Amino acid sequence: MSDETRAPTGDDDAELGRSDAVRAYFGDRYELVAQYAASLRDEGELRGLIGPREVARLWERHILNSAAVTPYLGDTRSVADIGSGAGLPGIVLAIQRPDVEVHLIEPMERRTAWLQECVESLGLENVQVKRGRAEEYHGAFEVDVVTSRAVAALSKLARMSLPLVRKGGAMVVLKGRNVEREIEPARKVLRSFKTAEPEILEGRTVDNVEPTTILRVRRS
């Protein structure tokens, strides 16, 4: 098999993670991101956080994919990551933006245990881990941005997320390429929260890494 056609391997992904481009992208936060990635590589599959095939593409598929949200945070002061799971994108965002208060909301005990371990080992003083479903926190607090990754279709995700978004804030979520198909079925829910028109955005990180599709819905 030629170099042009062979499938990417874990060695390729590890090389990407050590590359000058990735180091430059994360700047002085790189070492913390690398520490988190190493923990996820060592324990993620064992603890049921990521699938076995995902270990070989950890940086491209998960770390950089999550980091693509950060430029869309702007002057945000608070973020909630619902269904945080392994901490994607929440922990990556918290590392990149130590000035932002990040709430990691996750219903599964074994995953919240992992998240708390990561927060403590990485020394992330700007993170709170909250065990429960997003709906359980409706009315408890509001944030500038609610984010998520691979949680639910937009109609359901909006019902889960938008009650946590303060007026003037936004839902900024990682989605697949076909997210446009989810918008029309979600119109009624979005109108009930008086949102602006959903925006489909492109999240870029480093060269030669596929851009991420991001959906932003502002609450007016």
Per DSSP bridges, beta strands 199-203 and 212-218 are: antiparallel
Q: Which residue(s) pair with 80 in the sheet?
A: 103, 146
Where b means 16+ CB within 10 Å and e means fewer, 35-73 reads ebbebbbebbeeeebbeeebbbbbbbbbbbbbbbbbebb
Answer whether the bond into residue 211 is a cis peptide, omega within 30°: no
Strands 101-106 and 199-203, by their bridges, are unpaired
Nearest to 67 by CA among 90, 35, 44: 90
What pTM did the predictor assign?
Answer: 0.92
- Please name the amino acid found at residue 24: A
Contacts of 3 (CB under 8 A, 6+ apart): none
**Could you give the C-alpha distances from 108 to 82, 85, 93, 118, in angstroms and in order?**
12, 8, 21, 16
- Tell me the C-alpha to C-alpha distance, in Å, between residue 192 and each of 28, 147, 155, 200: 42, 19, 11, 20
pLDDT in tens, the chain (220 residues): 344 444 445 688 999 999 999 999 999 999 999 999 999 999 988 898 888 888 889 999 999 999 999 999 999 999 999 999 999 999 999 999 999 999 999 999 999 999 999 999 999 999 999 999 999 999 999 999 999 998 899 999 999 999 999 999 999 999 988 999 999 999 999 999 999 999 999 999 999 999 999 999 999 8
C-alpha closest to that of 205 among 19, 3, 49:
19
